[in-house]
Chains A and B, each alone.
Chain A
């Protein structure tokens, strides 16, 4: 009857699973299913997280280009940089939700 894991009853996987189920059930009873509006707002926020850094990049690029008169030499890389930053932070946000 000596099984590994039996020595510390507090760390038994069975106990851990039971506790996590109980926690999920409690969450469900407390908050219920997230509403459609909430889901939509989440999706909206995700969009803005990507778009905002891109816009900031474009404006910064336009400003620098206007200053040095260099066409779109700086606008394009700033736009790319903004897109990358936006996607990265969107990814992080998604993981944390």
Chain B
């Protein structure tokens, strides 16, 4: 089976040869094997897990989302937030690290936009100071 997990910003997983997948919606956990009937459900905040071609298990924490199975071969999950991991025990740490990084990015972006704004204002003010006498002055 083909599995594709997407968030609004990126394709997190695009994998072929998935043998089995487990996910959770509001009614509890369920499993998908190849040849499953067409299926559509809305996932809970939970962990999606699957068995790959070479028998290893992979995990992905999702913040809700929509799971659909098409033609018994294509599974696609669209979610707001997805964190990938190879081990359920350390997935929580990965999630936490991601949150911290996100907060850090947000903070630096805010600082940068403030800096940009200030320098734009400074530019305008210095232009105005030079007076309307200059070429292309404000008038």
The residues of A with any CB-CB pair to B shorter than 8 Å are 1-2, 6, 9-10, 12-15, 17-19, 21-22, 25-26
Contacts and interface: CB of A to CB of B under 8 A. Distances in A.
A15 B89 contact: no
Contacts of A13: 45, 63
A9 B88 CA distance: 19
A18 B102 contact: no
A22 B89 contact: yes
Nearest to B87: A22
B102 A1 contact: yes
B contact face: mostly helix, strand, loop, or mixed:
helix
A contact face: mostly helix, strand, loop, or mixed:
helix
B96 A9 contact: yes
Contacts of B63: 13-14
B3 interface: no
